[in-house]
Structure formats: structure tokens, C-alpha cells
Amino acid sequence: MKKFIRKALERLERMDHAQVASLIGALSDENDLLAMVLGSMTDGIVVIDKRHRILLSNHSAARLLHLAQDEGADRPLWEAVPDPALAAFFSEKLPGQEKATDRPFTLEGPPRILSVSILPLVRDGAVQGSLVHVEDITERRSREARLRRAESLASLTTLAAGVAHEIKNPLGSMGIHLQLIQKKVSGKECVDAAEIQPHLAVIGEEVDRLNRIVVDFLFAVKPMDTHLEEGDVNLVLSELLDFVRPELDQAGIRIERELSPAVPHLMIDARYIKQALLNLIKNAISAMPAGGTLRIETRLAGSEVELRVSDTGAGVPPEIIDKIFEPYFTTKPFGTGLGLTIVFKIIKEHFGDVTVSSRVGEGTSFTLTLPVPQQSRMLLEDRRGDG
């Protein structure tokens, strides 16, 4: 169609009235088709010129962005959008013709989650403006949350079977040693404490083991009551290292720390972040029974912060490294197998991720990735621009 219109325009002066009418009709039909397509889309589309003014937008864009009625006025897009977070985003990205993909925004009353993308509008190799794509992902996020709950319920069945098996072992051991005590004290008026002390010690150890199993199990299955607040992960790490230093010193483990001052404050629940890091440090201590080096690092990586906990221990064989986050999988003789499951759950509650790399005989490294809040990202980008 475009080729036809270009050829028609080239010979416009030689066209008669009927031919011009036919050309206008073709243009009108194409315009109607474009309007019908845009009007039928559930996603919002906004076309912006070089001065960041709205050239074209569909009904979905007006509805999702709450565009002002006079959207055709001579003003940039961010002045036509009432939501302050969206306005700030557009005013930051559009002037620099920056590309942005799937940025989430939560709008109030009623709460909705929008995914916003900005793409350059290019013609003949030159940027002529921007294309803004807006998608309502509220229902998708809701489905994902329901799916996570369903997966958690399925995992709960596995966890329940695992914890029942784990509890049976110490209970069996306690029963045997109680029978031995009963046999030793049977028919005696006076009992020699030395005879039954070893059995009582075993029972005490098994009770402690049962308590750890139940505490970890409850932590792993119950919903996490996280309260995310702005916090300094470097400070959290420093406080935790001060807390575990005596245990590390006793185990002959040297601490190396490299906490980047460029790391911004994150939205975290300090209690749970400490719990996740403590579990990783405990794993590192177990992996280095003869001592070694524990290295703790933080660094800013684009729009994320990485927290890395590395040890110089035995390492994890490649055939089992994919299983270490599974509930009740453990290589320790007395472990519950829930430590890394809890780490994974905590970091997911912070919208982050956990990765692991390991070499047998050289050590293991866990990397916790946490997102930088949008406001902090904007401040960081502004500082880079000033530099």
C-alpha cells in the first residue's frame, strides 16, 4: 500500500478528479484500518514526536495512563500524565531518547500494575520520536502469585513427608536409649549416674536435633511476614560478621570483605536478610572443617546489587549442585536440608535471585541478587550523567 501511495503522489499533478478521489479514498481506508487496529488493542500505544508531544494514542493508552483530555496540547507527555512516578520516568527517559523495557509501575485507586516500554521511532535511519507501549499486568501478576501459592502447597506435601521421616530417626534413637536406661535402673534402689549419663547425653542431643528440625520446618512452610524498608546491606553484613567472628576465629577461618561504597540502600527486611546470610556462612563453616577463607563482597551491577558469599571449602560436585536448594537435600550427617531452601525463599520474597558456582576442592560461591529501587536507580543514573 505504501508503494502505491508513493507512486500516486509522484504523478499527482497528472491525475484527474476521479483518480485523486480514489487516492484519498485509499488513504482514508488505510487510516480507518490503523484506527481500528489501535482501537481494538488492549495494550496502550502512544506515539511521541521529537519534542515529546503526543502525535497519536489509542483508547487503551488514555485509560491506562489517565491521559489529560487535552492530550493534543503543545506539551510533553510527562505533563499529560497525572501519576508522579510515571511522569518522572517519562521526563527522565524521553529527552535522552533512551530505550526502556518492561518497567513496572503500581498505580493507586484501584491498584493496578503497568508494564511500560519505550522504543525509538526510526525512519530512514534517523530517530523521529518515541513509541510508548503500556500493558496492564495486574492479572498476570495475580496469576503468578496464585501459581506460587499452588507450588508452595505442593512443596508443603514434600516437606511434610520429609519432616516426618527426619523426626522418626531421633525419636527411634531416643526410644532405644530410654529402654537401655530402664534396663539399667530396673530392680535397683540406687542408680550409678555414670552408667546412664551417656544415654542421657544422646537423648539431649536428639531433643536438640528435633527442635532444629521443627523450627526450620515451620520457617520453611509458613508465610513470610516481611516488612521491606530502606536499608543498608553493607551495614547488615558488617553487623552479621561481627556477630559470627568468634565462631569463625575458633574454626580457623579468615574473613575477607569487600563492601562497595557504591551500593545504594535497598528495600529489605534486615532480619530475614541476616538469616539468609547466616545460613550461607554456617554452610561455609561446615565446608571448611580445617579452616580457610570466607570472602564477603557487595557490588552494584546495573539495576541490581550482588551480595556474594564465597568459601575455600570442599566444593559441591557438579552432579548434585542443581539439587542443593531442594527441601531436605543435604550432604551433612546431621543437617535438616532446609538451610538453602530458606535462603532461596527469603531472597525470592525480596524479588531477588540466588545463584551458585562451585569447584570440587576449591570452594563454593553463592550470589544473592537484589533489585535497586526505582528512585535509587534514577539517582544513580543522574550521578553518572553529572560525572
One domain, residues 3 and 87 = no
Q: What is the chain's alpha carbon radius of gyration, rounded to the nearest angstrom? A: 31
**Structural domain range at position 359:** 227-387
Q: What is the pLDDT of residue 162?
A: 67
Grid cell listed for 328: 531436605
| 34 and 129 assigned to the same domain | no
- 94 within 8 A of 76, measured Cβ to Cβ: yes
Report d(CA 232, CA 235) in Å as an integer. Answer: 5
Rounded alpha-carbon distances, angstroms, from residue 230 to 372, 375, 382: 11, 11, 20
Is the residue at 324 inside a domain? yes
Q: At what angle do helices 2-10 and 17-40 cross, to 10 degrees?
A: 150
Q: What single string gives the DSSP state of each residue in 278-293? A: HHHHHHHHHH-TT-EE
Q: What is the spatial distance between Cα 48 and Cα 55, in angstroms, rounded to a whole number?
A: 6
Q: Are strands 266-268 and 229-231 parallel, antiparallel or unpaired?
A: antiparallel
**Which residue ranges in the chain fall short of pLDDT 70?**
1-12, 23, 69-73, 109-110, 145-146, 148-150, 152-165, 187-191, 212, 216-224, 326-337, 374-387
Q: Are residues 86 and 30 in the same domain?
A: no
| 113 and 241 belong to one structural domain | no
pLDDT at 232: 94
Q: Which long-range contacts (CB under 8 A, 24 or more apart) does 246-254 make?
A: 247/285, 248/281, 248/285, 248/294, 251/285, 251/288, 251/289, 251/291, 252/290, 252/291, 252/292, 253/284, 253/285, 253/288, 253/291, 253/292, 253/293, 253/294, 254/291, 254/292, 254/293, 254/294
C-alpha cell of residue 366: 553463592
User: Do 257 and 351 sit in the same domain of this protein?
Assistant: yes
| Residue that is last in its domain, among 77, 112, 136 | 136
Indicate the residue among 110, 136, 162 that finishes a domain. Answer: 136
Task: Look at residues 289, 207, 296, 311 and name the one whose alpha carbon lies nearest to residue 243.
Answer: 296
Same domain assignment for residues 108 and 249: no
- Rounded Cα distance between 37 and 270, Å, is 49
Domain count, the chain: 3
Task: Give the model confidence (pLDDT) of 119-177 as tens digits.
Answer: 888 877 788 889 999 999 888 877 876 676 567 656 666 666 666 667 777 777 788 88
User: CATH number, domain at 95?
Assistant: 3.30.450.20
Q: Is residue 259 part of a domain?
A: yes
Which residues sit opposite 68 in a β-bridge?
none
State how far the Cα of 24 lies from the Cα of 302, in Å rounded to an integer.
Answer: 51
Based on the fold, state whether residues 358 and 231 are members of the same structural domain.
yes
- pLDDT value, residue 378: 57
Q: Is 58 exposed, middle or buried (0-12, 13-18, 19+ CB in 10 A)?
A: buried
* 317: in domain: yes
Q: 54: closest CA among 30, 35, 75?
A: 75
Residue 338 sits in the same domain as residue 272: yes
How far is 266 from 229, CA to CA, in rounded Å?
Answer: 8
DSSP single-letter state for residue 94 = T
Number of residues in the chain: 387
Q: Are 50 and 128 in contact (CB under 8 A)?
A: yes
Place of cell 515529546: 52
For residue 52, CA distances in Å to 83, 116, 246, 327, 357 come to 17, 16, 60, 52, 46
Question: By the 8 A CB rule, do 77 and 95 touch?
Answer: no
For residue 292, the domain's CATH number is: 3.30.565.10
Do 253 and 384 have their domain in common?
Answer: yes
Residue 215 counted as domain residue: no
126 and 63 part of one domain: yes
- Does 186 map to a domain? no
Is position 222 within any domain?
Answer: no
Of 136, 163, 197, which closes a domain?
136
Sign of the CA dihedral with 277 first, then 280, 285, and 288 last? negative
Residue 235 and residue 360 in one domain: yes
Full-model pTM: 0.47
| CA nearest to 118, candidates 184, 172, 48 | 48
- Asked if residue 145 is part of any domain, the answer here is no
How far apart, in whole angstroms, are the C-alpha atoms of residue 157 and residue 144?
A: 20
**Residue 378 sits in the same domain as residue 273:** yes
Tally of CA atoms within 13 A in the half-sphere of 311 that contains its CB: 25
Asked whether residue 58 is assigned to any structural domain, the reply reads yes
Q: Render pLDDT for 220-266 as a digit per residue (tens, 0 to 9).
A: 666 667 888 999 999 999 999 999 999 999 999 999 999 999 999 99
The helix, strand and coil proportions of the chain, stated in percent and rounded to the nearest 5, come to 50, 20, 25
